[in-house]
Structure 1
Amino acid sequence: MSIVLEATGLTKEFKGFVAVKDVNLRVEEGTIHALIGPNGAGKTTCFNLLTKFLQPTRGKIVFEGRDITRMEPADIAKLGMVRSFQISAVFPDLTVLQNVRVALQRRRGESFDFWRSEKSLSQYDDLARGYVDEVGLSEFLHHRAAELSYGRKRALEIAATLALEPQMLLLDEPMAGMAQQDVERISALIRRVAKDRTILMVEHNLSVVADLSDKITVLARGEILAEGDYAAVSKAPEVIEAYIGAEHA
């Protein structure tokens, strides 16, 4: 498989504290790749470096053969690499349809669509309905986002992300704060949308990681501790020690 995203020697220091140290990461096309580790492992920092919300102290990041190390988040989103956040980011007073339509308008690269009439924006509706249907929210099409359950808000966020036509999705703890039925729904959704996309996700729920991931990278104290499929990394003594040690620290 070809490599979609590659980090080499990725390092981030904060006033002498090394949060991420010499991380080498390769994400293969068409896979679901999970980034896991105990609390304080450096997962969030690493994720923010890869998505350019932090600049690395050292190292190189390449997406689709292009050096993006010093690029801004908006610029890499235009290249096809789009991230979500731990906190659901939807417009609460807009309907499900309108939320996805905003994302479709963003693809035009113009800022004046917000001043256009509702009728003139209806040209996006059919395409927006397609993305809403893809994430299983068709029956909530005209509901305000604020009326949705937390899990359905996350599904709406994914629909808006898909509307940007990303080649790669980076999901930051997509299951955080969810009830079990929502976890199952979003897991199924991620598996469905991954059929023709590459996904990198940070996730604490290890049962979700075991179920979804093709490959897992385990971080501890800012460094890669182990890498492989779930069967391999879950049995690695150093991984077991890192998690048990973190629980009893």
Structure 2
Amino acid sequence: MSDEFILECSGLTKEFAGFVAVQDVDLQVRRGTIHALIGPNGAGKTTCFNLLTKFLIPTRGQIRYDGNDITALNPADVARLGLVRSFQISAVFPHLTALENVRIALQRQRGESMDFWRSKSVLNSLNHRAHELLDDVGVGAFAGTVAVEMPYGRKRALEIATTLALDPQIMLLDEPMAGIGHEEIDKIAALIKRISAKHTVLMVEHNLNVVADLSDTITVLTRGRVLTEGNYATVSQDARVKEAYLGSAHA
């Protein structure tokens, strides 16, 4: 494996009772880039994400992360290695404040789950870093706000902050714009761009404007296979992509 790539898979295949959801997928994610995985409904994007993060066991194929074969590892093990998928901790605690949510994620990163029962002074030692992360994602003003009372777009930013608290090398974001109003999309897109300065990002996203603006590389899936790959200018002009995805999306 070249040091150029932080995450690779080869021949990745997943079958469900005879149905092939992902078939012979080869993927290479370059360090320090934003890589988008797109395709029409049923293309296998979510299944591929679940395989890469080990929530599903591949029928065959190999997954390599940071030079190591992680095919046999479980989700917790790969998260500890620095490959973190946002939905793993995206269900924020609704009745805790934004600060408390990020602080819990910081406790997980330190491996001290029993901090729930430790003194307040021990927990307060994490406050400075928690405030930094909230500021980084643009929700510092909501530090004392209970999560359930935050606007949805700001809550999604909080979820990204809790993911960042785990100190990932690569973040896998599953439809980060889902459910977000137009006024919030630019904020989340700008946040992802800032994150990519320090972290590699692999994301599934249906908003093609976001994909066009953010992505360095785009892999297009259809019927569980890789259809094509390249930058947006390249894939958007591919007749097969227009037929399978882009054309129908703009119909």
SS at match of 1:175: coil
SS at match of 1:119: helix
- Matching residue of 1:150: 152
Residues 70-85 of structure 1 aligned to structure 2 (within 5 Å): 70-85=72-87
Cα distance between partner residues in 1 of 2:160 and 2:219: 23
Residues 94-105 of structure 1 aligned to structure 2 (within 5 Å): 94-105=96-107
| Structure 2 residue 171 is the aligned partner of structure 1 residue 134 | no
Cα distance between partner residues in 2 of 1:107 and 1:216: 30
* Displaced runs of 4 or more, over 4 A: 244-248
Cα distance between partner residues in 2 of 1:96 and 1:44: 28
SS at match of 1:107: helix
- Matching residue of 2:10: 8
SS at match of 2:113: coil
Cα distance between partner residues in 2 of 1:7 and 1:143: 41
Match of 1:177 among 170, 176, 179: 179
Deviations 1:124-143 (A, max 9, x none): 00011110110011111100
Cα distance between partner residues in 2 of 1:144 and 1:160: 15
- RMSD value, Cα: 1.6
Contact 2:236 2:246 in 1 (8 A): no
Return 239-248 or 87-96, whichever deviates more: 239-248
Contact 1:86 1:172 in 2 (8 A): no
Match of 1:215 among 193, 202, 217: 217
| Structure 2 residue 205 is the aligned partner of structure 1 residue 203 | yes
- Matching residue of 2:162: 160
Cα distance between partner residues in 2 of 1:167 and 1:74: 15
SS at match of 1:56: coil
Cα distance between partner residues in 2 of 1:54 and 1:148: 32
| Structure 2 residue 109 is the aligned partner of structure 1 residue 110 | no
Cα distance between partner residues in 2 of 1:103 and 1:83: 13
- Matching residue of 1:243: 245
Contact 2:241 2:247 in 1 (8 A): no
> Shift of the alpha carbon at 1:246?
5.8
For these two proteins, the number of residue pairs brought into alignment is: 248
> Shift of the alpha carbon at 1:108?
1.9
SS at match of 2:11: strand
TM-score (norm 2): 0.95
SS at match of 2:187: helix
In the alignment, structure 2 segments of 5+ residues that lack a partner are: none
Percent pairwise identity? 64
Cα distance between partner residues in 2 of 1:147 and 1:97: 13
TM-score (norm 1): 0.96
Contact 2:218 2:231 in 1 (8 A): yes
- Matching residue of 1:43: 45
Q: Which amino acid aligns with 2:179?
A: G
- Matching residue of 1:24: 26
SS at match of 2:145: coil
